[in-house]
Amino acid sequence: MTGTRQFTISLILLILIITLGSLGYVVIEGWDVMDSLFMTVITLTTVGFGVVHPMGKAGQVFTIALIFIGGGFFIYVVGAIVQFMVEGQIRAILGRRKLDRKMSHLKDHYIICGYGRIGKVLCHQLTLHKRLEFAVIEQNPELVPVLEEDKRLYIIGDASSEACLLRAGIKKAKCLVAALATDTDNVFLVLTARQLNPDILIMARSSYKETESKLRAAGANLVESPYDMGAASMAQKILRPTVTSFLDLAVNRKDQDIQMEELPVTDKSPLVNIMLKDTGIRQKYNLIIVALKKANGDMEFNPSFETIFKAGDTVIAVGKDNDLMRLEKVLNPER
């Protein structure tokens, strides 16, 4: 029997025994409801206040029965209620410590501030990338059951406070997403986050066009409007339905057989300073190289076979997930 069910049954039985005890005094002794209730409670709790009114033999027998039958059961019920409350608190404390312990080990992770409609969908998409870790900061305590059900690492508190950001490991984080309900909250959040970690990548949600400049001035690297993105996506589905269908398959991971991934090239990779034609990527990994982003930010689409891989480049490839993982281990051996 679960703790919650046991607590509920115990509470119902407690109310039942008090009701039956009070009803007994009303019927046997003819007392009013308040006196009968008072007599029942002091009898069950054995506080020893004495008899409320003189009673006959039948009332005395009923009181004896109430003490033997109801007294022990009353103690059991109260103990069950106390146990439920204490165990609930212990579970909450232990659960919170477990979350904090996991959060303390995070590194190069993502911090999602806000678990509303945008934040929840964003976390779901990040979950599809099994090698990516993230933590959520949410102010509304009513969302705790949702966060627990979704198995998120989370902190309940004000995302713009230094204490919450430090608990979420902002000094070791790779990226922070400001997805709070209002642009004003996001501006304060970005300001605080940028002060705590000057090097972190910050993406902020903007509801209004005029707020974008304020968010960038506060320190956001990227500012996105869900409404603009949604409208642009709808337009592309109308104008280029086949292209968008392919991108949905590759980027949104709706088809696990086809993936598009970006893979960084580190200085430890054996493919550094090797021409694309000599890497054997096509033959060994059955992948298509769509583009190559150079360390200086230049994007080279459909790179030629004479393109040379350099440390700091990012390879954008399309293929099966297992093949992409094998290539990633070559491009970034230390991962």
Position 8 pLDDT exceeds 70: yes
Are the folds of 3-101 and 256-331 the same? Answer: no
pLDDT, tens only, 118-145: 899 889 888 877 678 899 999 998 998 8
Record the tokens describing residue 236, joined without a space.
């592309």
Question: What CATH architecture is 256-331?
Answer: 2-Layer Sandwich (3.30)
| pLDDT score, position 174 | 92
Residue 306 CA: distances (Å) to CA of 7, 244, 287: 72, 30, 17
Cα–chain-centroid distance for residue 30?
59
Instruction: Find, among 222, 225, 190, 229, the residue nearest to 209 by Cα.
Output: 225
Average pLDDT over all residues of the chain: 82
How much of the chain exceeds pLDDT 90, in percent?
Answer: 21
Residue 295 in contact with residue 261, Cβ under 8 Å? no
Q: What is the mean pLDDT of residues 18-33?
A: 85
CATH pick for 106-230 out of 3.40.50.720, 3.40.470.10, 3.90.550.10, 3.30.2350.10: 3.40.50.720
| pLDDT score, position 32 | 85
Cα–chain-centroid distance for residue 96?
13
Bigger pLDDT: 215 vs 63: 215
pLDDT, tens only, 88-120: 555 555 556 777 778 788 888 999 999 988 899
pLDDT, tens only, 289-327: 888 898 888 888 888 888 888 889 999 888 888 888 888
Residues forming a β-bridge with 288:
318
How much of the chain exceeds pLDDT 70, in percent?
Answer: 86
Q: Taking the CA atoms of the chain, what radius of gyration do you get in angstroms?
A: 32
Residue 27 in contact with residue 56, Cβ under 8 Å? no
Q: What is the mean pLDDT of residues 253-274?
A: 79
| pLDDT score, position 171 | 93
CATH pick for 3-101 out of 2.40.30.260, 1.10.287.70, 3.30.160.160, 1.10.10.10: 1.10.287.70
| Cβ within 8 Å of residue 51, ≥6 positions away | 39
Q: How far, in Å, CA of 186 to CA of 206, rounded? A: 8
Domain boundaries, the chain: 3-101, 106-230, 256-331
Position 48 pLDDT exceeds 70: no
